[in-house]
Amino acid sequence: MKLIAVNADSGHIDTVRSIGEKNDAADFRLGYKDEDERQIMRILISDDHAQAALDTLQRTLGPDPRARIVVIGVEVALPRRTEDALTREDSAMAINPVRDNREKYPAGCQFPHSRRPLHGRDRHWPDQTLA
């Protein structure tokens, strides 16, 4: 994913928003408007669509000498809202039953699969021992 930050006159908001929409942007955000009527616009976009969006932004904002386009690489954007991510989460749950167990018990419980040693009178492994 890429975060494209556009710093330009606020009159370009609709143009930048439509470029994001045409390139399937995951998110579009507006920053505050400064005293020079310039505004930061942020587009979160997949790597597949980033180059097309950048080319269009360059053609559109290129003549404006005050416009700046900054591209920031994003390692992870949470939460993932795609069907692909939901499928991966379901398969991870099937592969990792420990995660499923942790959702059944209250926070702070110790489990037999935990590698953290118990101390004192709690050296046995009860069903639920609060930490």
pLDDT in tens, 61-99: 999 999 999 999 999 888 766 565 555 555 555 544 444
The reply to whether 115 and 62 lie within a common domain is no
Q: Is the pLDDT of residue 12 over 60?
A: yes
- For the CA atoms of 85, 88, 90, 96, the dihedral, rounded to the nearest 10 degrees, stands at -130
The reply to whether 53 and 94 lie within a common domain is no
Average confidence score pLDDT of the chain: 77
The reply to whether 65 and 111 lie within a common domain is no
Domain total in the chain: 2
In a domain, 55, yes or no: yes
Strand bridging mode 68-73 / 38-45: unpaired
In a domain, 91, yes or no: yes
41 SS3 class = strand
Share of the chain above pLDDT 70, in %: 60
The reply to whether 55 and 101 lie within a common domain is no
Neighbours of 51 (CB within 10 A): 13
3 bridge partner residues: 44, 72
- Give me the domain span that covers residue 37: 2-73
Q: Which residue has the tokens 């180059």?
A: 51
